[in-house]
A and B are shown apart, each in its own frame.
Chain A
Amino acid sequence: MMDLQKLTIGKALNLGLRRAMEEDPKVLMMGEDIGKLGGVFRITDGLQKDFGEQRVLDTPLAESGIIGTAVGLAVRGFRPVCEIQFEGFIFPGFDQISSQLAKLHYRTQGRVKMPVVIRVPFGGGIGAVEHHSESPESLFSHIAGLKVVSISNAADAYWGIQEAIRSDDPILFFEPKKLYHSGALKMEIDTETSPGRVFGSRVVREGTTATVVSYGPSVKVALDAATAAEEEGKSLEVIDLRTLSPLDLGPVFESVRKTGRLIAVSEAPLESSLTSEIAARVQQECFYSLESPVLRVAGFDTPYPPAKLEEHYLPDLDRVLHAVDRSLSW
């Protein structure tokens, strides 16, 4: 049965979480302020009211506690979904993520399953103070045993969160906070008919001149750049990675073989990042198809600056177009 709803990313996540809780009584939400307040971004709005305090836990204020107890709950057969309030506050939980969450399945030869999802609002552009605008996804992508995904639109949010919760692997689920409540990004979603698997990279706009690969909040930037480039007679193919680890680069290789050029866009700093990994693998797999070096448009190798400077720090449409021009002029 079709049930079409026009949703923002935030609302799509809320409905997706609700649906996962309805379908499986072992699904729990845990995090700071996620109950009465509905989370600082209201993504869990109304869930505690309907599912009770034992399924939507307003936890004490400690990220290591949230993630460490989620690990234990998972050992006991629950499927915890943790909310980290802002990406900059995930680090007190880093030890539990890297030492336990990511490794228990391996350490126990598969006996222990870790169906834990950690939802992380990430990225900049909201004019916030320190620690509220970072992009630490590459750090987590480096940890084996962990899956790292991101979403960039409401349909993927709705179906993706459910897919992540159903997965028996630990998943870091990065959500572009800047886009949560964007009315312009509202999408009509059929909330009944599953599109099948959500994760894995996907071509979101076809083109022939150059490929732009991105994820999370930068996908919108890439798409806007493609629209602008079209006016100048350039056709950009845009790929949304969606799965950041293990990286699914098949569609990227295919695209680069067609266009011969690749620009990777991300808000994260450059050094030792996902964009570094993409560049390395693409030059290895597509060496003879490349017409120019893989270029990267990203944050700088600096701490996230004061918000008055974030428009300079964040990749925008102009910086993407500039990179396209540089690629073409090679």
Chain B
Amino acid sequence: MPSEQWTHPEPGEGPAAIAAQPSPEQVIAGLRATSEGGAELTQLLTPEGQRIPSEQFDSYVADVDDEVLRNLYRDMVLVRRADREANAMQRQGQLGIWVPLLGQEAAQIGSGRALGPRDMAFPSYREHGVAYARGVDLRDLLGIFRCTDHSGWDYQAHRFHPYTIVIGNQVLNAAGYAMGQKFEGKVGDDDGEATICYFGDGATSQGDVHEGFVWGAVYDAPLVFFCQNNQWAISEPTERQSRLPLYQRARGYGFPGIRVDGNDVLACLAVTRWALEQCRHGNGPVLIEAFTYRMDAHTTTDDPTRYRLSDELEEWKLKDPIERVRAYLARGGGADHDFFDGVQAEADEFAAQLREHTFNMPEPPPDRIFANVYAEPSPVLDAQREEYLSYLDGFATAGEH
């Protein structure tokens, strides 16, 4: 198992090591200053689009030729375009709220495309890119934000669990699912199954996430914890949640933790494939911290100007996940103008379809309120439904007079 990624000085390695420990203030200052992600950051493609070789991870993306890269580029452009369209639709009153993913396309497409058909994903609520990579029709997903339903896709068909809004809840659910994969003997070799669970940097403070780490570790569950550290939990920066870089927490639970450049789709793909392989082979969980940035507001109801500086945003713009792939492809002749224009046209068409579908989304009928509360029939609810529907009928009759 490659272990360099998570080795760092053992506490108590000797007086010198201890003396060299940074003070808490230094750690925190360091965290804020780590917009580069620090020396530990795994990166395969620089913001300028230069390919960096990696002894540990190159083999995990050996199959990624220009064509595969063009597809990853296309995925990210489509997902970004859909995200912008949804944001605009919220502004026009067509969606109740939108949770933007702008800036996080590489983390989501890279990790999402690393998954195999039998793997299971547990998202929180910003994983539209992962949903897309799992084959979920984004039109089905928009129902959540148009407030017509809580979850619009077949989770089994797509191996993509319903969104979870309560921070951290899904981490334990994912741990349980992964334990199930293990108990059913679905791990052990290349054909093994694994689970991936997404959560934010803020979520790492929740007790459920800690417990998820404990369960995952104790039962050697085939579970990749995928933390998208987008630097902010609404208005609270990551140092409100942790003194240590988040990936280093894994050590305390006894499994590997690794920090990947979350704006580097190639690195996200490679690192997630590696982590899934660890899981499939029965080596237990891995924590990936995808170091990225939330380029837009937390949601369309948030006002980030109250808490963050535009300088920070400008700095991160230079690390755009899509631009670096474009630069790489353009420079190496992997794609030409026609390709880029074609993808853009396709993305516009994709967005137009989303828009049309959203506008035509049927309103749920009132008796939807009572449907599926229980798997078994409930006379009490049947009575409530009948009473309410006949009350509504009363209006119809009154109107006829």
Task: List residues of A whose CB falls within 8 A of some B CB.
Answer: 32-33, 35-38, 40, 58-62, 64-65, 88-89, 91-92, 127-132, 270-271, 300-303, 305-309, 312-313, 318-319, 322
Contact = CB atoms under 8 A, between A and B. Distances in A.
A129 B381 contact: no
B338 to A, nearest CB: 40
Contacts of A61: 167, 202-203, 205-206, 233, 236, 240-241
A32 B236 contact: yes
B147 A302 contact: no
B236 A58 contact: yes
B339 interface: no
A62 B233 contact: no
B150 interface: yes
B391 A305 contact: no
* Interface of chain A: mostly helix, strand, loop or mixed: loop
Contact of B207 (A33, A62, A130, A271): A62
A312 B365 CA distance: 10
Given A60-B240, A305-B369, A37 B307 contact: yes
Given A128-B97, A307-B96, A89 B166 contact: yes
Contact of A131 (B147, B165, B168, B202): B165
B363 interface: yes
B150 A130 contact: yes
Contacts of B363: 308
A318 B391 CA distance: 10
B234 interface: yes
A309 B364 contact: yes
B8 interface: no
Given A62-B207, A129-B150, 13 more contacts: A32-B233, A33-B235, A37-B235, A60-B241, A61-B205, A64-B207, A65-B207, A92-B208, A301-B373, A308-B148, A308-B364, A312-B388, A322-B394
A301 B381 contact: yes
A130 B143 CA distance: 12
B171 to A, nearest CB: 12
B165 A129 contact: yes
A306 B149 contact: yes
A306 B236 contact: no
A129 B233 contact: no
A300 B370 contact: yes
A291 B77 CA distance: 67
A91 B301 CA distance: 23
A122 to B, nearest CB: 16
Nearest to B149: A306
Contacts of A302: 369-370, 373, 381
A89 B205 CA distance: 14
Contacts of A322: 391, 394
A300 B388 contact: yes
A228 to B, nearest CB: 15
Nearest to A39: B235
B384 interface: yes
Given A61-B241, A62-B205, A312-B388, A306 B150 contact: yes
B235 A58 contact: yes
A313 B364 CA distance: 13
Interface in B127-155: 143-150
B366 interface: yes
Find the residue from B147, B167, B205, B384 having the highest chain A CB count within 10 A: B147
B331 interface: no
B343 to A, nearest CB: 31
16 contacts: A33-B234, A40-B234, A58-B235, A61-B202, A61-B233, A62-B206, A62-B207, A65-B207, A130-B165, A300-B370, A301-B384, A303-B373, A305-B369, A306-B148, A306-B149, A322-B394
B205 A60 contact: yes
B311 to A, nearest CB: 16
Contacts of A307: 96, 147
A40 B392 CA distance: 36
B73 to A, nearest CB: 31
Nearest to A310: B147
Contacts of A132: 165
B205 A129 contact: no
Contacts of A309: 364, 366, 368-369
B383 to A, nearest CB: 10
Interface in B240-271: 240-241
Interface string B362-387: 01101011100100000011001000
Contact of B145 (A35, A64, A129): A129
A92 B363 CA distance: 33
Nearest to A300: B384
B366 A312 contact: yes
